[in-house]
Amino acid sequence: MDASDTARLETVPLRVTNKELIPAKRYYDPAFFELERERLWPHTWQMACRLEEIAEVGDYTEYRILDKSVIIVHGKTGIKAFHNACRHRGVQLVSDPGNCKSKGFICPFHGWRWNMDGENTFVFGKSIFTEEVMAKAELDLVPCRIELWGGNAFINFDDTAPSLLECLGPVAKKLSDRKVDKLRAEWWYGTVLPTNWKLAMEAFMEGYHVMRTHPQLHAHMVAELSPYGPDGNTAPAASTATVREFVEKTIKFFASNSEGMAGMTLQSEVAIAEKAKDMELPDNIYEAAGDFYARVKNDIYKDGLERGLPVFDMNKADDENGFTFVEFMFPHFFLLPFFSAMASYRIRPLTPETCYFEIWSLIPMAEDDPRPRVTKPTILPHDSQEFPEIPRQDYSNLPLQQLGLHAQGFEYMRLSHQKEGMISNYHRLIDGYLAGLDQETLAKASQVVNSGFEAPILDIGF
């Protein structure tokens, strides 16, 4: 990092100067929120929609981020994105999903029309306008940059930004090897949280909270395999659990995760684990854990192939890429793999202290699966009992945390450099965007930030 980069970073208000301390005002200060609106969101790749939302030619949906709106449409020549504004007087053309194959997009104000490829096809009373304002290039919808990956469409308002894959980095291969692009949405929920968008994301960047927030999961963890040790406060010691106790607890953990997420771990996968519980295992609990997981993953893979599901060799993928329970793609998108399925989160800012939070359950489905496509979320209050148990437990903490950040004397969050480093890493990347660092530097930093659940504090290059 050169002196000019250092100087630009020093201009950022509420900057992270100690990597283990995050200024509390970053989560509610209106001026900081406006700086994010101006310098962060217009320059980052954002997950705009799942491709299954627009599976048929003519299907479209809207993606909204703060005061910007984009139409994502399945045109005759592929997936395209256009800024959502009539070229006459700026009225937004769509708000809900639909199909424009037969009629195109029609402005509700004066009836101007565009086809699915963004070409203007009709201007009522065209003769009353001068030729200068009717130039075709001025009438077609304005395109927005779009790239596809992992079964999703991503948009970027910055035409000069590095490509999506340059910004994602190694996490793209890691998840592609798990056939993320073949998964389909089983359900999709959305809610407004009384929480800053960054705060909402951070609940899913570390597992340190599981003991208290998700006791049903913690109860089924084998202490000797925990990074916090048998008593939660010391390094792991020699094993006292038997191999059979480990197997029983592990299967209960699978079941709790399946029930608590209503997806992520499938009921069929829990049943497969149950069938494998009497397999021969070595007496060493660490070796037994490896053998049991390998057997379960292999049996799930073989079962999926027999059922015609788009599964993958989990043991091979994990051996090649490693495994992380939560994968983050800066600035606002998560995928949470387990065996063959995943959960997915997307968070968008609304105001300094509110955000829109969405959850998908993504599962492998056969080509002829009769379930209808999920094309819009079910909107629930953030405290709704209809949410699965695990998100419901997380949501119960977040409004209290947002209020607590305003407490007198609370100036900084204090992070574990070992287990909460992911929070520090992405905050410092935000500072890079707010400082206006060059795009190549930011892309390289993004690759580091997208390092997965419970990453330590890392050097992101500035």
In contact, 14 and 35? CB cutoff 8 Å: no
Contact residues for 89 (Cβ-Cβ < 8 A; gap 6+): 109, 110
Q: Is the dihedral of CA 208, 410, 357, 399 positive or negative?
A: positive
Residues in the chain: 462
Mean pLDDT across the stretch 225-237? 59
**Residue 6: closest CA among 441, 415, 414:** 441
pLDDT, residue 123, reads: 96
In contact, 83 and 157? CB cutoff 8 Å: no
How far is residue 32 from each of residues 19, 201, 457, measured CA to CA in Å? 19, 17, 23
The amino acid sitting at 91 is V
Number of CB atoms found within 10 A of residue 1's CB = 12
Helix spans in 116-170 (H): 136-139, 164-168
In contact, 358 and 345? CB cutoff 8 Å: yes
The amino acid sitting at 90 is G
pLDDT digits (tens, 9 = 90+) for 253-298: 999 999 999 989 999 999 999 999 999 999 998 999 999 999 999 9
In contact, 95 and 62? CB cutoff 8 Å: yes
pLDDT digits (tens, 9 = 90+) for 112-169: 999 999 999 999 999 999 999 998 889 999 999 999 999 999 999 999 999 999 999 9
Helix 243-261 crosses helix 285-306 at what angle (to 10 degrees)? 50
Mean pLDDT across the stretch 185-189? 97
3-state secondary structure of 206: coil
Q: How far apart are CA 420 and CA 457, in angstroms?
A: 7
Number of CB atoms found within 10 A of residue 371's CB = 10
Under the banding of pLDDT at 50, 70 and 90, the label for residue 221 is confident
Q: How far apart are CA 327 and CA 195, in angstroms?
A: 21
3-state secondary structure of 181: helix
Q: Which domains does the chain have, with CATH numbers?
A: 3-44+167-203+326-449 (3.90.380.10), 47-149 (2.102.10.10), 210-321 (no CATH)
Q: What is the DSSP letter of 457?
A: P
How far is residue 92 from each of residues 105, 106, 141, 142, 406, measured CA to CA in Å? 10, 10, 11, 13, 37
Mean pLDDT across the stretch 381-399? 96
Q: How far apart are CA 43 and CA 203, in angstroms?
A: 25
β-sheet with 152-156: strand ranges across:
46-50, 152-156, 145-149
Residue 428 burial (10 A CB sphere; 0-12, 13-18, 19+): buried
pLDDT, residue 317, reads: 98
**Residue 186: closest CA among 244, 266, 122, 94:** 266
Residue 453 has pLDDT above 80, yes or no: yes
Residue 399 has pLDDT above 60, yes or no: yes
Mean pLDDT across the stretch 337-350? 98
In contact, 232 and 419? CB cutoff 8 Å: no
Q: How far apart are CA 183 and CA 141, in angstroms?
A: 32
Lowest mean pLDDT among 71-85, 203-217, 265-279, 436-450: 203-217
Enter the tokens of residue 285. Answer: 């609990």
pLDDT, residue 353, reads: 98
Contact residues for 405 (Cβ-Cβ < 8 A; gap 6+): 24, 27, 28, 199
Q: How far apart are CA 72 and CA 346, in angstroms?
A: 17
* Beta strand residue intervals within 167-243, DSSP E: 183-193
Enter the tokens of residue 75. Answer: 């045109």
In contact, 161 and 43? CB cutoff 8 Å: yes
Write phi, then psi, for 31 (nearest 5 degrees): -65, -40
Q: Is the dihedral of CA 396, 398, 402, 404 positive or negative?
A: positive
Query: Is pTM beyond 0.85 here?
Result: yes
